[in-house]
Amino acid sequence: MQLRGGLARSPVLAALFLLLLGAITGYRSKATERAEVQPAPAAAVSESVRRTAPGVTAGDSLRGQELFGQVGCNGCHMVNGVGGMVGPDLTGVGARPSRDPARWPTTEAYIRASIIEPKAYVVDDYGAVMLSADFLHLTAQNVDDVVAYLMTLRQKK
């Protein structure tokens, strides 16, 4: 499907259009197919993802990795070259310093706040389009799990 006009010029509108089109009709673009991450069998998941990241005790990183794909985070965010480009690339996010240490003293606190209230801090060059945990119906445990997974992403791009 070729997007034209305003949709072609706006990656945010294009991503939302394709997401809605897929939900309504089952249409899957090549970009959507590339962005989907199917949960890997437990044996295939790297040991670094199996472990809970240092300082994160409440979440299950393996479950968080599964949720990242199931909820559709990877439709907008790339990890290790796989996923969308509407939101920031999250490769190595667990090793990055907090964006605003006065508000979020740790990387974990920043990641958690970004999931719960994504409009609290918007990364330069990206729009405030991320869906909140409430909108996605994520439980507190789901958020803990996704945070645990993202904290395992420590290799820099």
- Are 90 and 77 in contact by the 8 Å Cβ rule? The answer is yes
CB 55 within 8 Å of CB 106? yes
Q: Rounded CA gap, 106 and 94, in Å?
A: 10
Cβ-contact 16, 87 below 8 angstroms: no
Amino acid code (one letter) for 8:
A
* Host H or E run for residue 71: helix 61-71
Is the pTM of the predicted complex or chain greater than 0.85?
A: no
Q: Which of 100, 125, 123, 95 is nearest to 110 (CA)?
A: 100
Interatomic CA distance for residues 139 and 155, integer angstroms: 28
Q: Which of 34, 40, 35 is nearest to 71 (CA)?
A: 35
How many Cα atoms are found within 13 Å in the side-chain-facing hemisphere of 148? 23
**Better-predicted residue by pLDDT, 23 or 132:** 132
Q: Say if residue 2's pLDDT is above 60.
A: no
pLDDT value of position 25: 54
Position with higher pLDDT, 43 vs 126: 126
Average pLDDT score, the chain: 75
pLDDT digit string, tens, across residues 74-89: 999 999 999 999 999 9
CA distance 143 to 42: 21
Q: Which of the four pLDDT bands, split at 50, 70 and 90, describes residue 143?
A: very high
- Residue that wins the pLDDT comparison between 97 and 34: 97
**Secondary structure letter of residue 12 according to DSSP:** H
Determine the CATH number of domain 38-152.
1.10.760.10
Residue 57's pLDDT is 60
Could you report the per-residue pLDDT of 91-120, keeping only the tens digit for each?
Answer: 999 998 887 888 888 999 999 999 999 998
User: Which pLDDT belongs to residue 33?
Assistant: 43
Q: Which of 90, 88, 66 is nearest to 138 (CA)?
A: 66
- Which pLDDT band, with edges at 50, 70 and 90, does 51 fall under? very low
pLDDT at position 144 over 80: yes
Spell out the domain ranges in the chain: 1-35, 38-152
SS3 135: coil
Do residues 153 and 94 touch, judged by C-beta distance below 8 A? yes
